[in-house]
Chain A
Amino acid sequence: MHTSDSEDQAMLREIVRGIVASHTDAAERNRIEQSPHGFDLSVEEALGQLELHSAVVDGIASLTTVACVFEELGRSAVATPFTRGLLAFVFLAAARGSDSAIDLLEQRGPRIALGRRRIGENGSPSETVELGWADVADHALVYSTVGGPLLELFPLDEAEYEPLESFDTERTSRVLLEPGVGTALDGTTLSIASGVMSVNLLSAAGLIGLAQGATELTVNYVSQRQQFGQAIGKFQSVQHALADVSIRTTGARLGVYEALWLLEHDKPVDRLSAIAVYQATVASMEATHAAVQFHGGIGHTIDYGLHHYYRRAKAEGIRLGGRLEALQRVAVEIRATPDPVVLRHLPPRVVLEDVAR
């Protein structure tokens, strides 16, 4: 077992950090948010050149490798259509086996936005879907588990958008995509479940990155900021609170990577996946709350840029369903397990095989 990066993963992180380096400048980041597109075109292009989509489809890039990218983008609080498109490809790769899905993967060209049908009126799947960055996508991949698994692909060229006010820098729209009108892909309940888990865990990796980035900014700030004649980072009240944040983030991060690893190796992962998403949600909340608290007034100014972390952590958490929903899923998973055996060390283990998938 080892939990650190491979050389490739470490290199990939370096590259991603280099690509988004301009985002460490708060003024530049604010300018991008206010721009018509809402994202940095040059960053988008540079990330595209990594050809991660192909690597995901060909099974060369592992889920944990993709998670490194999400974590690094989170660390810089970067919002970009690139991540939504990549999530769609990860979802499709997880739902492999369907001819139409494979056809689509082989084209690899389309920019895809990923969306989920929620429960609409009278309990049926909703007719509208919220999509991230739909204005720069040409297809939407929409999944639903309401009333049976459904996985559909829609062209977006003639779709009607209603742009939504976003809590953070993510651009979202509500799009009318009636169920059954798109091209149905053969998604089974299992493959859709794997797809959902993969994309949720990758988003959770982004949350971990946000927690880390906010904590790094804070450590830096409290080490410089002088009050009462000393750096405020010397006060135990500050140190201990940040220590707790860091411990939680480290633990949540390990959970996310372990769940991705288990998923990729076809091990039972439902419960750990729910736990990892829950812990990532909590960690990103605690880290960003501590960050704004220890920054004080400066952290609230638009010029400083911490607000990108604070807003995005909550907004991404909500997109994942929020902390309470995540905890509820953990509770459901525990109840669904025949015997309340908890994961004791590492797979492979006999008890694990007994846990109903």
Chain B
Amino acid sequence: LLFTRDENEVPVDFGLAPAEAEYLESMQRFFDTWFPEKDGLPFGEGVSGHSPSGAYLDDEFHAWIQLEHHYNERLSDAGFRGADWPVEYGGGGRSSLDQWLLMEEQCYRHLPNGDITIRSVSRALMQFGSDAQKRELLPLILRGEVLFSVAYTEPDAGSDLASLRTRAVRDGEDYLVTGQKIYTTFAQRATHIWLAVRTGTEESRHRGISVLIVPVDTPGVTIQNLPVQGGEKTNEVFFDGTRVPAANLVGNENEGWAAITAALAHERMQMHSDVTRLVEYLARWLRALPSDMEPGRQEWADRELASLAADLEVGRLLALQTVVLMDEGVTPISEAASAKIWLTELRLRLVSVALDLIAALGRDCTRDRDELARFEDAYLYAPVRRFAGGTNQVLRSVVAQRGLGLPRS
């Protein structure tokens, strides 16, 4: 009686629909054709924005930017860029799952995978931007010709973003902006800055914040590289009475908080990462080891790997769940935070364990220099992920309060 269910009603389903599998295959063919893996990786190790040398605006970085530009054009031509954007904005109208599959594939192949402009800023722009802004910027974003750098954080406003102090004062048809931003990643390559400013009183917190779109070549904008471990291209950006047209205000004055939180939420949704590939590297490395190791070593190495692989599966499923909920029309705030916490914690643990294993089992590490360098680079960069895009401590509070319903502190 209970189980005479409608043939069309599917219970829990973990399979890809034929159309989704087909889409996945089409993107795999595309990448195999245009960006095959030969002589290492098509973009080197520096895909996430860190170059092994850590050099700033060096030849290597310029070459990388050229390559990425070419890459974005190809993606755009093939309809993969903005595949999940609404059709009215020139997108492909595809599902979040399709988009996630694309980003996972890119990530796995060490290809740039959905920059912050197309994934996050553009979404806030669609929701809060003026018609003129959308008309002008969205098509260029789709082509990869407009790239944003996001400027929220200040020296005294990190996790407590609502305390930011960079000031914008109305002056006729313009705003005059004064203040300093920090950890403004990729500003040196961006065309525009997505800038959070204080337009309300000093005490107005999130009710007095606005968002301005500032072209990087605006007079009075100074971008200064801030060298960090791992070589990520981040900066300090100074505004000294910088004149920005009021037409560049996103949404209404003092209502920028909604645009910021929307953009941040999109940054965390569709989480994906190169943890998968790193686990594979480690597994292959372990497998290639000679079998005459000291008794017992193989076994504990296997168990370390098993534990990482088991946690990787959980990360994949948490990310997938987020995407599936998005396609069901749910905004997965707590779920997205969960996936972000899990995957970023796992990444640091993975690279740390990998280096320990290589140290313990590698014997002559120089022989496996490539593997060692890969995990050393990843080790330097891994901590950033745990606090960037919403620090994991704040996100745990999000999971506790929004997910579990615990009282606000």
A interface residues (Cβ-Cβ under 8 A, vs B) = 1-9, 11-12, 15, 50-51, 55, 60-62, 64-65, 215, 219, 222-223, 231, 233-236, 238-240, 242-244, 246-248, 250-252, 254-255, 257-258, 260-262, 265, 271-272, 275-276, 278-279, 327-328, 330-331, 334-335, 340-349
Contact = CB atoms under 8 A, between A and B. Distances in A.
Contacts of A242: 400, 404, 406
A242 B407 CA distance: 13
19 contacts: A1-B14, A1-B20, A2-B12, A3-B12, A5-B12, A64-B12, A238-B406, A240-B393, A243-B338, A243-B341, A244-B396, A246-B338, A276-B313, A330-B306, A340-B283, A342-B309, A346-B14, A347-B15, A348-B16
B404 A258 contact: no
A331 B306 contact: yes
Interface string B91-106: 0000001001100100
Nearest to A61: B3
A15 B313 CA distance: 32
Interface in B111-157: none
B317 interface: yes
B409 interface: yes
B374 interface: no
B38 interface: no
Contacts of A265: 15
Interface in B299-315: 299, 302-303, 305-307, 309-310, 312-315
A343 B316 CA distance: 9
A248 B15 CA distance: 22
B324 A1 contact: yes
A54 to B, nearest CB: 9
Interface centre among A62, A222, A276, A331 (most CB of B within 10 A): A331
A246 B100 CA distance: 24
A246 B280 CA distance: 27
B317 A5 contact: no
Top 9 A-B pairs, shortest CB-CB distance? A340-B283, A251-B314, A239-B400, A331-B306, A243-B399, A254-B317, A330-B306, A243-B396, A240-B396
Given A236-B409, A254-B317, A334 B309 contact: yes
Chain B facing A: main interface SS: helix
Contact of A215 (B11, B15, B342, B404): B404
Contact of B2 (A11, A255, A344): A11
B283 A334 contact: yes
Contact of A246 (B4, B12, B321, B404): B404
B309 A219 contact: no
Contacts of A255: 313-314, 317
Interface string B1-40: 1111100011111111100110010000000000000000
B354 to A, nearest CB: 13
B10 A2 contact: yes
A257 B12 contact: yes
Interface in B320-356: 320-321, 324, 328, 335, 338, 341-342
B293 to A, nearest CB: 14
B3 A55 contact: yes
B287 A340 contact: yes
Contacts of A347: 14-16
A345 B400 contact: no
Contacts of A8: 2-3, 5, 9, 11
Contact of A247 (B3, B14, B303, B341): B341
Contacts of A55: 2-3
B287 to A, nearest CB: 6
Nearest to B312: A342
A51 B338 CA distance: 38
B108 interface: yes
Given A1-B324, A334-B305, A345 B11 contact: no
Contacts of B369: none
A15 B408 CA distance: 33
A295 to B, nearest CB: 15
Contacts of A328: 303, 306
Contacts of A7: 9
A79 B406 CA distance: 29
A344 B407 contact: no
A306 B316 CA distance: 32
Contacts of A275: 309-310, 313
Contacts of B14: 1, 3, 257-258, 261-262, 346-347
A5 to B, nearest CB: 7
A275 B310 CA distance: 5
Nearest to B314: A251
A224 B382 CA distance: 39
B191 interface: no
A255 B316 CA distance: 10
Contacts of A215: 404
A236 B317 CA distance: 26
Contacts of A244: 341, 396
B404 A1 contact: no
Interface centre among B3, B4, B21, B399 (most CB of A within 10 A): B3
B288 to A, nearest CB: 10
Nearest to A233: B406
B3 A234 contact: no
Contact of B399 (A4, A12, A246, A345): A246
B302 A6 contact: no
Contact of B12 (A6, A234, A250, A334): A6
A65 B4 CA distance: 13
B401 interface: yes
